[in-house]
């Protein structure tokens, strides 16, 4: 049988036939509502009713069971009691149905028998290829085929926005509101309890869906973080994704163990994940769809500098206040812009940003001010606030705004305050897809959302490569040995000396520590280190040493060391709870007259794994509450972005007469901490506080690590503890050709973009045609980004390199991309013309096939032009089955079963 890929949700979301189990004639029931909606929606497929008690329902013939239908339905809608579900699923499997939506409530608590029954149903359905939506689902809608397979009272308008909702009630409310506001949908999916189909697979479908331009999500939680983020990243590369999340849970009990735990809010990891995935989060219901509309417009990436043009001083001030709240800058206009505005405007204009044209402003004044602000290089976007004044002409101003928006690439947000006189101007702007608002604050928030979206898009494009090879490798063996020794001793909170030893193993500059068991040993250590020194209690029982008087700073002499040692012991004895003193740590007193104190932390989130945090440090860290968060792995760009989001970042430049701090040193510590997160899956929490940074560099003064209890976490090249898969360095290898040429094979990196472009340009016309099936001569910018900035969890590109006097040259590449079923991947391979017939293509494909097998994939497939006989011979020798493509006689489908027992058909 020939292999043909079809998205596994296709039959469920875009069915050719629907069967409704439990449809009835009783108003007020789910079965009644869903049948009426399917019929009233003008569904263009066939509709069947399953009800053994009636011959027909709602004018539609009724069948006793699914197995009695003349043909297999694509979609089965279940509107019956929970106890009937196992038999319905068995019938759906027997009748070869495509998908099943459970519209009724079912017990889903882990301690309920219903949960066990649902799990059994899920396993049965998965094995048979039957996909399940729900339970507790409102249903689904696909206007392109006239399908309203829900029990919502609201209708639906066709459009290009897709809605994925975890809550049926929320989806129903959105539909009711959207109909009145003329918002249309390509797809609506109410996921319910996600027994089977979840956000990841639904996002995968919508990413490929040509009818969907933007995606909005309402969710309350995430189950499989890596799968969710991988799908979200793939979607956000192509279409705007806007998220509204509810259910902000309480911080975990571990928060008391570290400052990082106290400061990291329960939603910080989710926010960090969304930023990294290129999506944008909104806080309210109405923002969800307005954001989707204006993000799908033609606006290009912008900064955060806003110009406000208005004919009302008060609304201008309101806009500036809100801009400050959301992190925007109402940037001073350039002197040349001011000069040109002076020539174009009446003498009484504000001569500043906001550009207040005063109450007597005419349309030509707005037109001139908008055009000149658009020209100003320091302005990233405009908010135009129009109030109804005697001299104003709102309709003309709206028409001028429409023209200005069509000419420029900077976002223009329109705020027309009022009602009766503003209806027609607002219609003009809405028809032109210009974001419109009735008050200044949401208009400013809209610009902030656009700016945040494009900032997040830049974060999405970051794919950190390995530090090893660029910098010296860490001593991971020593670090893991320290962790195992602590675990063997029954401790999950490491001593400061142990934590610093781990940091040192990862090449992070730290102040050395000597643990003294007596006052004499402390004096000896201090003399050896050099005065002044700091003394700290060394105890497995103390979380925050200064809270019990366990820290003595700036000790200058031997007698001072003795006295400090004794004070620490006395304070420990007077502590509210018993404290076992394991010694006193002696370390150099780090001093810098211009040093800034930072705190770098790590916290293991229950869903998203390790999260890196940064903010102001020192003893008052919890008072400052300055913290930004990011998901590892990081690269230089991501580290700089993390630093920029903190308040303490403003002190790292020249500040109060101090020289600028050495920010690259802070970036270096962040990158090494990121590497620790990847390589040490046992880290539960980490405080590095403070990191002292000045003009010369950064050094760790104090640190504390908490490791997970229980056995050591497994170390794997796939990094299962990470939400975002790091660079798979373990897939790199070397080979020697028959003529002695050394070839390196490794996964592609973002910095390979120029090399990849040069490789494609050097290919012959025939090789390019065989690879891309068209006359492409070079990769477009978007293709280049897509080929080199990849998600290593769902795709892989292996490049073959030879190194000459001018550096490495790419001579081949093989890649696979997983399709939505998470079991199948599509591959492509091409070798430079001068290097063909030398075994490089075979070696690349062998490595790629092995990597796909290790990933657990079941089938690899690809397309080869029939005239590419050399490639078809290679595929045959590698074990691929070759089939004619029924849709294109010039093309061959080649299919390889990857796992034993998989037929590949």
| Tens digits of residue pLDDT in 72-114 | 999 999 999 999 999 999 999 999 999 999 998 875 554 445 5
Output the CA–CA distances (angstroms, integers) from residue 38 to 11, 146, 176, in the order listed.
16, 8, 17
Report DSSP state, residue 473.
Answer: P
Q: How much is the pLDDT for 877?
A: 96
3-state secondary structure 485-528: HHHHCCCCECCHHHHHHHHHHCCCCECCCEEECCHHHHHHHHHH
Going by C-beta distance under 8 Å and a sequence separation of 6 or more, which residues neighbour residue 226? 720, 722, 723, 724, 725, 793
> What pLDDT is attached to residue 33?
96
Under 8 Å between Cβ of 552 and 534: yes
Judge contact between 357 and 348, C-beta under 8 A: no
| CA distance between the termini of the chain | 6
Q: How far apart are CA 828 and CA 869, in angstroms?
A: 15
Residues 472-520 have pLDDT tens digits of 889 999 999 999 999 999 999 999 999 999 999 999 999 999 999 999 9
Helix 840-854 × helix 869-877 angle, to 10°: 50
Q: If 0-12 CB within 10 Å is exposed, 13-18 middle and 19+ buried, where does residue 90 land? A: middle
- The pLDDT value recorded for residue 284 is 82
- In the beta sheet, which residues pair with residue 583? 538
Q: How far apart are CA 408 and CA 371, in angstroms?
A: 9
CA 362 to chain centre: 46
Alpha helices in 326-437 (DSSP H): 335-344, 363-375, 394-407, 423-431
Can you give the pTM of this predicted structure?
0.88
Sort 607 into a burial class: Cβ within 10 Å, 0-12 / 13-18 / 19+: middle
Cα 773 from Cα 771, distance rounded (Å): 6
726-756: per-residue pLDDT in tens?
888 889 999 999 899 999 999 998 889 999 9
Nearest-angstrom CA–CA distance, 894 and 362: 68
Residue reference for tokens 């507790």 = 136
Q: Give 729's contacts (C-beta < 8 A, 6+ positions apart).
A: 466, 468, 469, 717, 746, 747
Three-state secondary structure of 677-701: HHHCCCEEEEEEEEEEEECCEEEEC
The whole-angstrom separation of Cα 290 and Cα 509 is: 48
Q: In what order do the strands lie in the sheet with 306-310?
A: 355-356, 306-310, 381-386, 412-416, 436-437
Which two structure tokens, joined as six digits, stand for 103? Answer: 């519209």
Give the model's pLDDT for residue 266: 62
Residues 1, 290: Cα–Cα separation, whole Å: 47
Q: Name the residue among 334, 259, 319 with its Cα closest to residue 690.
A: 259
CA 694, CA 702: separation in Å to the nearest integer?
16
| DSSP symbols for 811-866 | EEEEEEEE-TTSSEEEEEEEE-GGGTTSSHHHHHHHHHHHHHHHTT--EEEEEEET
SS3 415: strand
Whole-number pLDDT of residue 699:
96
pLDDT, one tens digit per residue, over 448-468 is: 998 999 899 889 988 887 765
Beta bridge partners of 691: 598, 700
Q: How far apart are CA 506 and CA 899, in angstroms?
A: 38
Q: % helix / strand / coil in the chain, to the nearest 5?
A: 40, 25, 40
Residue 49 has a pLDDT of 97
Ranges of residues in the chain with a pLDDT under 50 are 1-3, 110-112, 250-257, 259-260, 262-263, 903-905
d(CA 486, CA 772): 55
Q: Angle CA(693)–CA(694)–CA(698) in degrees, nearest 5?
A: 35
- Cβ within 8 Å of residue 391, ≥6 positions away: 359, 360, 361, 362
Give Dmax over CA atoms of the chain in angstroms. Answer: 100
Q: Which phi and psi angles does 697 have, rounded to 5°? A: 155, -165
Rounded Cα distance between 384 and 357, Å, is 11
Other CB atoms within 10 Å distance of the CB of residue 714:
8
């Amino acid at each position: 049988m020939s292999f043909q890929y079809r998205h596994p949700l296709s039959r469920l979301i875009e069915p050719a036939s629907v069967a409704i189990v439990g449809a009835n004639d009783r108003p007020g029931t789910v079965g009644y509502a869903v049948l009426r909606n399917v019929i009233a929606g003008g569904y263009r497929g066939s509709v069947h009713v399953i009800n053994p008690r009636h011959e027909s329902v709602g004018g539609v013939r009724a069948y006793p069971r699914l197995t009695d239908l003349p043909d297999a339905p694509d979609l089965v809608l279940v509107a019956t009691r929970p106890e009937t579900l196992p038999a319905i699923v068995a019938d759906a499997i027997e009748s070869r149905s495509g998908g099943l939506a459970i519209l009724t409530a079912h017990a889903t608590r882990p301690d309920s028998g219903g949960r066990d029954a649902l799990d059994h149903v899920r396993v049965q359905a998965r094995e048979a290829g039957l996909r399940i939506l729900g339970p507790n689902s409102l249903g689904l809608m696909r206007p392109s085929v006239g399908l309203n397979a829900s029990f919502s009272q609201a209708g639906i308008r066709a459009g290009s926005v897709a809605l994925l909702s975890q809550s049926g009630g929320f989806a129903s409310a959105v539909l009711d509101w959207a109909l009145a506001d003329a918002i249309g949908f390509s797809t609506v999916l109410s996921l319910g309890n996600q027994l089977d189909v979840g956000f990841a697979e639904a996002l995968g479908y919508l990413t490929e869906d040509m009818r969907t331009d933007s995606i909005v999500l309402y969710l309350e939680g995430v189950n499989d973080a890596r799968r969710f983020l991988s799908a979200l990243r793939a979607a956000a590369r192509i279409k705007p994704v806007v998220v509204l999340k509810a259910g902000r849970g309480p911080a975990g009990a571990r928060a008391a163990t570290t400052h990082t735990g106290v400061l990291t809010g329960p939603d910080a990891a989710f926010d960090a994940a969304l930023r990294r995935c290129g999506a944008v989060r909104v806080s309210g219901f109405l923002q969800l769809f307005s954001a989707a509309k204006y993000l799908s417009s033609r606006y290009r990436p912008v900064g955060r500098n806003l110009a406000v043009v208005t004919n009302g001083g008060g609304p201008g001030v309101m806009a500036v206040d809100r801009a400050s709240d959301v992190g925007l800058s109402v940037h001073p206009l350039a002197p040349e812009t001011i000069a040109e505005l002076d020539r174009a405007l009446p003498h009484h204009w504000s001569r500043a940003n906001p550009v207040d044209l005063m109450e007597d402003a005419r349309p030509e004044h707005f037109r001139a001010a908008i055009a000149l602000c658009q020209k100003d290089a320091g302005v990233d976007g405009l908010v135009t606030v129009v109030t109804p004044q005697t001299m104003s002409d709102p309709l003309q101003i709206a028409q001028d705004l429409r023209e200005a928006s069509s000419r420029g690439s900077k976002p223009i947000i329109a705020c027309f305050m009022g009602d009766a006189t503003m209806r027609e101007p607002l219609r003009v702007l809405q028809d032109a897809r210009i974001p419109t608002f009735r008050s200044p604050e949401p208009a400013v928030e809209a610009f902030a959302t656009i700016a945040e979206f494009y900032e997040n898009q830049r974060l999405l494009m970051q794919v950190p490569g390995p530090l090893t090879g660029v910098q010296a490798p860490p001593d991971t063996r020593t670090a893991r040995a320290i962790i195992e020794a602590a675990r063997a001793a029954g401790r999950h909170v490491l001593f400061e000396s142990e934590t610093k030893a781990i940091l040192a193993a990862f090449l992070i500059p730290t102040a050395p520590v000597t643990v003294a068991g007596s006052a004499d040993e402390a004096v000896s250590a201090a003399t050896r280190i050099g005065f002044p020194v700091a003394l700290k209690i060394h105890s497995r029982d103390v979380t925050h040493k200064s809270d019990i008087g366990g820290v003595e700073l700036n000790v200058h002499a031997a007698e001072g060391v003795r006295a400090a040692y004794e004070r620490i012991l006395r304070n420990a004895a007077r502590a509210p709870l018993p404290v076992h003193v394991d010694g006193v740590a002696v370390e150099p007193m780090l001093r810098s007259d211009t040093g800034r104190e930072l705190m770098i932390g790590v916290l293991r989130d229950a869903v998203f794994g390790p999260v890196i945090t940064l903010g102001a440090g020192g003893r008052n860290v919890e008072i400052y509450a300055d913290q930004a968060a990011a998901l590892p792995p990081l690269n230089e760009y991501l580290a700089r972005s993390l630093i920029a989001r903190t308040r303490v970042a403003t002190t790292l430049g020249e500040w109060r007469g101090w020289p600028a701090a050495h920010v690259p040193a802070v970036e270096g510590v962040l990158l090494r901490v990121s590497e620790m997160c990847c390589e040490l899956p046992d880290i539960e929490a980490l405080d590095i506080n403070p990191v002292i940074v000045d003009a010369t560099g950064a050094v760790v003064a104090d640190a504390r690590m908490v490791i997970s209890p229980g056995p050591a976490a497994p170390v794997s090249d796939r990094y299962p503890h990470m939400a975002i898969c790091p660079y798979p360095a373990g897939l790199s290898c070397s080979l020697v050709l028959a003529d002695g040429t050394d070839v390196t094979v490794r996964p592609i990196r973002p910095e390979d973009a120029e090399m990849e472009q040069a490789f494609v340009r050097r290919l012959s016309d025939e090789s390019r045609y065989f690879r891309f099936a068209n006359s492409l001569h070079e990769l477009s910018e978007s293709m280049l980004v897509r080929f080199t900035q990849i998600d290593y969890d769902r795709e892989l590109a292996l490049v073959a390199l030879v190194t000459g006097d001018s550096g490495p040259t790419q001579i081949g590449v093989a890649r696979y991309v997983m399709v939505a079923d998470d079991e199948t991947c599509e591959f492509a391979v091409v070798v430079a013309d001068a290097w063909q017939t030398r075994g490089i293509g075979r070696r690349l494909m062998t490595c790629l096939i092995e990597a796909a097998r290790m990933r657990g994939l079941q089938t690899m497939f690809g397309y080869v032009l029939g005239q590419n006989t050399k490639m078809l011979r290679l595929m045959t020798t590698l074990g691929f089955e070759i089939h004619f493509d029924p849709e294109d006689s010039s093309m061959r489908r080649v299919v390889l079963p990857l796992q034993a027992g998989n037929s590949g058909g």
